[in-house]
Homo-oligomer: A and B are copies of this chain.
């Protein structure tokens, strides 16, 4: 039976396990979901260079999944999203794009919790390409060092503080977690900030399952013009 393939393009099995667990509620939809770790990836993707260098092995891993019914690229930043759409006619959903589209139905202005400051310009380029900057309340980094990110308590506290700033200083009424593999923080973050929180892999898998069931997919040809 064909399967939704979720690719974590970093090499951290812990992250993949976190994603896998976050998707449990969606398994009742009846379409198998398989989460893969990209062995060739870095432990975490921290800049555009790392993101871009991962595309080649990610495309190869995707191509090797013979039972694929569709794909989710599980890295906020959606590296290789359009490349994979050029490679396959199956549905391909990026977690950043899906998180934004989901958030836009849950509040007028969305706030993004970025793990690292260096991600923010990358996010802004993506939101500009999506054409949704008028809906952005703010994008704020956690302000944690790498060591602190491994500490669940510190991470959650920083997420809550960041989420509150996005709400009270920037005017967000929905939050997006700007990272895969952190779904375990979603509920406490929601409670502490009083805002709906979109976990991007959940949002993306939910959209992908619908597209698979409805036989909806991009076409990789362009229009004759635009203006």
Contact = CB atoms under 8 A, between A and B. Distances in A.
Contact of A131 (B48, B55, B135): B135
Contacts of A87: 49
A134 to B, nearest CB: 4
Contact of A47 (B98, B126, B220): B220
Nearest to A55: B52
A94 B160 CA distance: 30
A44 interface: no
A150 interface: no
Contact of A214 (B26, B55, B140, B174): B26
B223 A49 contact: no
A120 B171 contact: yes
Interface in A97-117: 97-98, 101-102, 104-109, 111, 114, 116-117
Interface residues of A, number: 95
A215 B49 CA distance: 23
Nearest to A23: B214
Given A29-B30, A221-B194, A226 B139 contact: yes
Interface of A: 25-26, 28-30, 47-53, 55-56, 59, 80, 82-87, 93, 97-98, 101-102, 104-109, 111, 114, 116-126, 128-141, 143, 167-168, 170-174, 194-196, 198-199, 202-203, 206-207, 209-211, 213-227
